[in-house]
Each structure stands twice: as C-alpha cells, then as structure tokens.
A = this chain, B = another copy of it.
Amino acid sequence: MSEKTALVISAHAADFVWRCGGAIALHAEKGYAVSVICLSYGERGESAKLWKQDGMTLERVKSARQAEAERAASVLGVAEIKFFDLGDYPLIVDREGMMRLVKVIREVQPTFMLSHSKWDPYNTDHMRATSVAIEARMIAQAWGHNPGENVLGAPQLYLFEPHQTEQMEWKPDVLLDISSVWERKRAAIGCMEGQEHLWNYYTNVAENRGNHFRRNSGGQAGGRKSTHAEGFQSVYPRTVDEL
C-alpha cells in the first residue's frame, strides 16, 4: 500500500463524484491511494430516471448504479471502491455495518477522510453517513477494539459540498484547487448517466469555487489563476508548524 491514503464515505453511489471527485483525482495523481465506500447505491432515492423505465427492478437499479460508480471511480483514479449495500431512503447502519466500516478504516489508515455535511433536512441519509463516519473513526481509535489491530491516529474529517449548501449549514474553510484535474472530474460526472440534470449544476459549482479560490489566494493582487475548485469543511482543528 502506498504511504498516503484517503477514505471517502459516501452515502450513495454517486455522491463521491459530484462532491469530491476533484479531490480524489488530485490526490490520486499525487500518489495517494484513495478508497471509496458507498454505504448504499442510492437505488431507491437517487435513481428516478431508471425507475421511470418499464419493468425496472431493485437489482437492476443497483447494478446500473454500481457500474456507473465504478466507471467514475476508474476515471478518477480511485484505488478501491466498496459497496456496502446497506439500503437507502432510509440508510440504516446497524452494528455490523458499523464494524465493517471500522475494519476498513483501520486497514486504510487514511491520512484524511471525506464525508457529508452534518445537517441535511432534504436527505437524512447524508447526515447519517456523517454521524457514522465520526463514530467509526472513534471506534477505530480505541486500543481495546479488536486489540492487536492497527489503531487509528487522528485523521481530519472533511465534509464535502452538499447540494444547497446554505440549507445544510455547511461552511467551507478549505478551498482546493482542482484546475489540473478538472477534465478528469468532468469525465467522471459524465459517467453518471442517470443524473444528467446535475452535470451542468456541478460544473457551475466548480467554476464558482474557482472564483472563490482566486479571491482567497489574493484576488486581483496576486491571486492564483485557479479555474475550478472544491470546498471542504473541517471537523477538527489542524495541527501545524507554521501559520
């Protein structure tokens, strides 16, 4: 395994593409092994286009969603993608699901983790995924949980951008320049055939976050010429040697 790793905990199969596809591609290029866990396929709640087809079944939806997610993951350079198939709308993570997640976290030993916003009144699966990520991280840190396994350190948990950010009370404190991998993210977005109505939306988001990047890196007096960016909210304080 490469030294640096990242772990994305995605409530549904497509979330990691829209919300942190740039971060994945960028870190993959930097040599990180990026793992993605899809807690569900989003088979019931985020597959309207498929369900409007005649004779659709739950299994066919799951297959289609998995195939799309795998293609996108491949485009982004994901090292490993796992589907926990815990069900969506609602996503319920029972004890066994939690322990599977803890196990993966310990195996991956992520340098940082990525998940959803803390609040989402449109989509309780999203905020549950975040709660689960926080709890699983805690369990993975416990010396008495499966003694002998590698205990987790204290990776940052970044909350990626939700839909309708203000309604989710999400506030980015980090802007990541994804200009160099934008084409790759756009290609991964294009794999999400079932949600074509969001392609333009997330292109707009990336362009506008690029504007924010330019402003916050110096604006018209020395700002970086970022064209596309992604925003993240940190859960924990970071530890540094220089401000």
- Chain A contacts to B: CB under 8 angstroms: 6, 23, 26-27, 30, 43-45, 47-48, 50-52, 56, 58, 61, 88-90, 92, 95, 98, 112, 121-125, 131, 134-135, 138-139, 141-145, 147, 150-154, 156-158, 163-167, 169-177, 197, 200-201, 204-205, 207-208, 211-213, 215-224, 226, 229, 231-232, 234-243
Q: Is the CB of B166 within 8 A of A170?
A: yes
Given contacts A51-B147, A208-B204, A224-B239, contact A216 B89 (CB under 8 A): no
Q: Which of B6, B92, B124, B138 contacts A243 (CB 8 A)?
A: B6
Q: Is the CB of A121 within 8 A of B235?
A: yes
CA distance A52 to B48 in the complex (A): 52
The chain B residue sitting closest to A235, CB to CB, is: B121
Complex A-B: 14 CB contacts under 8 Å? A47-B144, A52-B143, A61-B144, A89-B139, A89-B144, A92-B95, A141-B219, A151-B220, A154-B217, A165-B166, A176-B241, A177-B240, A201-B208, A213-B239
Q: Is the CB of A23 within 8 A of B243?
A: yes
The chain B residue sitting closest to A201, CB to CB, is: B211
Task: For residue A89, give the distance in angstroms from its CB to the closest CB of chain B.
Answer: 4
Q: Which of B45, B201, B205, B237 contacts A175 (CB 8 A)?
A: B237
Residues of B within 8 A of A131 (CB): 124
Residues of B within 8 A of A166 (CB): 165-166, 170-172, 231
Q: Quick one: copies of this chain in the complex?
A: 6
The chain B residue sitting closest to A118, CB to CB, is: B121
Task: For residue A68, give the distance in angstroms from its CB to the closest CB of chain B.
Answer: 15
The chain B residue sitting closest to A218, CB to CB, is: B153
Residues of B within 8 A of A30 (CB): 242
Q: Which of B122, B134, B177, B197 contacts A121 (CB 8 A)?
A: B134
Residues of B within 8 A of A141 (CB): 45, 219, 221
Residues of B within 8 A of A207 (CB): 200-201, 204
Residues of B within 8 A of A216 (CB): 154, 236-239
Q: Is the CB of B239 within 8 A of A177?
A: yes
Residues of B within 8 A of A48 (CB): 143-144, 220
Q: Is the CB of A153 within 8 A of B236?
A: no
Q: Is the CB of A143 within 8 A of B236?
A: no
Residues of B within 8 A of A152 (CB): 221
Q: Is the CB of A241 within 8 A of B177?
A: yes
